[in-house]
Amino acid sequence: MSVSEIESIFASRLDKFGELGSTIKFDFGDDRLFVDGTKSPATMTHADDDADCTIGIAPDDLMKIMHNQLDATMAFMTGKLKVKGSTAIAMKLNSVLR
């Protein structure tokens, strides 16, 4: 799964990211997606800016979470998903990703 495919899916959900009212960075190692839900409408870039919550994850694992093939809690507990910053925001992401 490519980051551009994830970007397309996220683009259709920017209104839901906006409801979080936070900045979230998905760090895929060599690429990233930065979603600014503090703006109206929410925006998405490939910027490496500071975020309220940073999710470190492989694109394939993120897609598995989004398609209910991998539980986000299990991904976190097994080290496939790493959270920096607000864990409260990370927990709210489940409603946006599914």
CATH number at residue 26: 3.30.1050.10
pLDDT tier at 94, thresholds 50, 70, 90: confident
Structure-block tokens of residue 44: 């998405």
- Check: pTM over 0.85? Answer yes or no: yes
pLDDT digits (tens, 9 = 90+) for 3-49: 999 999 999 999 999 999 999 999 999 999 999 999 999 999 999 99
pLDDT of residue 1: 67
Is a pLDDT exceeding 90 seen at residue 98? no
How many domains is the chain built from?
1
| Owning domain of residue 57 | 3-97
Among left, alpha and beta (phi > 0; psi -120 to 50; other), residue 79 is: left
pLDDT tier at 70, thresholds 50, 70, 90: very high
- DSSP-assigned letter for residue 53: E
